[in-house]
Amino acid sequence: MLGPPEPVGRVCAVADNRLAVVDDAFASLPERYLGADPGFDATYQIRLCDIGRTWEVRCTGHGARVRKGGTRRQADVTISTSADTWMRLRQGELSGVEAFGRRLLEVRGNLDYAVGFEGMFRLPNGRPPLLQIHDIPVGRHRISTMTMGRGPDVLLLHGLGGTRASLFETAATLSRRYRVHAPDLPGFGSSSKPPLGAYNARWFADIMLGLMDQLDIPWAHIVGNSLGGRIAIEIGLNAPERTGALGLLCPAVAWVRRSLHPLVRMLRPELGMLPHAIRRSLISMQFWSMFHDRDAIDPAVGDLVVDEFRRIYHSAGARYAFWTAARNIYLEAPFGRHGFYPRLAGLRPPALWMWGSHDPLVPAAFSRHVAKWLPDARQVTIDRCGHVPQVERPDQTNDLLVSLFNEAERSGLVPSSRSHADVRAA
């Protein structure tokens, strides 16, 4: 039976108290602000839909300002969520990446700004934020990197044309027991886009090793999807002493059938520097073609990713990076003295290869080439899955990764916890 209704006055008092708590949390943002790089200027619109209130937060290199009510400036980011979720974020009970992955908040606008928002403010009692996005200088490059969690280090590498956003759910899951680093690869996302970058596996691998140096990471487990998987393999081949276990998600291995090789070789990625645009409908079609079970993907998230690609692709440097990296993937020699597969036979770190049963880009049939050159390779085909298993089948993918890392650590198959200087000198 239903109990007697709550008195109207008590309900109003509870609502007023909740609004007062939320107001106080927003009012404390300026004093908790950790600052931003000179020249940074972003306006956030925060909508708490269940209580029907909106706040504007403007963050610059000089400080943070909060205004209650409608925005006076055009917002770079709109974040919509509930008061309960917002307060859990404020208390550090939940990270923004985890809330986004669990669909507890919705984002419109610049996704990178949205994810970085919580990292700009201290938590209660002066605690550091659960995640931070920082620009790390690596030689002449600037690598935008998200770091969250505590424990052994894990490096997450995204695929061609993507950003670290494709690994958010993996980052949130692994951060419960690992310190996770999710960079935007050079040429992509918010990282620098050098016009003379080689954009091949060795070039990417060297920069990622430089990033590990800058972050004082002696060794790390490495997870890579597509192009990121190819880079992870290259790191494992060239620096096994820096590599724990490799989680290879539909990695971009060398093509064996090369009927289009002459045509691709003639295509010049420099043409990507010329101003041009790609229709949103074409980007959307390509995005959704990577998944087999489209019902597993939130359409709102899909729209956000498509818009993010369009925003980034406006940069000539991003276009050059995309086409150069794509060309290098296709043209990599599979055989011969320096071919991919003969080199693969020398891979020492423990690795788990995950293929999608319905991957239209890197078919699961590539597993037989891996088995030929690396007979002891552990390989799994994820059923009813396309090219991005960490998005389409996140629970299964993340469980496999955690098991891989645990087994490697228990079996002593990862580098010892030597100091950073010792590893670099090895």
pLDDT in tens, the chain (426 residues): 444 555 544 445 455 678 899 999 999 999 999 999 889 999 999 999 999 999 999 999 999 999 998 667 899 999 999 999 999 999 999 999 999 888 899 999 988 899 899 999 999 999 999 999 999 999 999 999 999 999 999 999 999 999 999 999 999 999 999 999 999 999 999 999 998 899 999 999 999 999 999 999 999 999 999 999 999 999 999 999 999 999 999 999 998 765 554 544 545 565 555 566 788 998 899 999 999 999 999 898 899 899 999 889 888 899 999 989 998 998 899 999 899 999 999 999 999 999 999 999 999 999 999 999 999 999 999 999 999 999 999 999 999 999 999 999 999 988 865 444 444 444
Q: Distance (Å, rounded) from C-alpha 84 to C-alpha 197? A: 45
Phi, psi of 89, rounded to the nearest 5 degrees = -65, -45
Domains of the chain: 31-126 (3.30.1050.10), 132-425 (3.40.50.1820)
- Contact at 8 Å (CB) between 245 and 351? yes
Render the burial of 20-56: b for 16+ CB within 10 Å, e for the rest. eebeebbeebeebbeebeeeeebbbbbbbeeeebbbb
Joined together, the tokens standing for residue 244 give 């724990």
What the block records as the tokens of 62 is 């000089």
Structural tokens at position 72: 């006076």
pLDDT on residue 421? 41
Instruction: Report whether 29 contacts 64 (CB < 8 A).
Output: yes
Q: Is 75 helix (H, G, I), strand (E, B) or coil?
A: coil
Structure token digits, residue 312: 């980034």
Q: What is the dihedral of CA 105, 106, 108, 114, to 10 degrees?
A: 20
Nearest-CA neighbor of 244 among 405, 80, 51?
405
| Cβ proximity of 219 and 244 under 8 Å | yes
Predicted local confidence at residue 269, as pLDDT? 61
For residues 167 and 156, is the Cβ–Cβ distance under 8 A?
Answer: yes
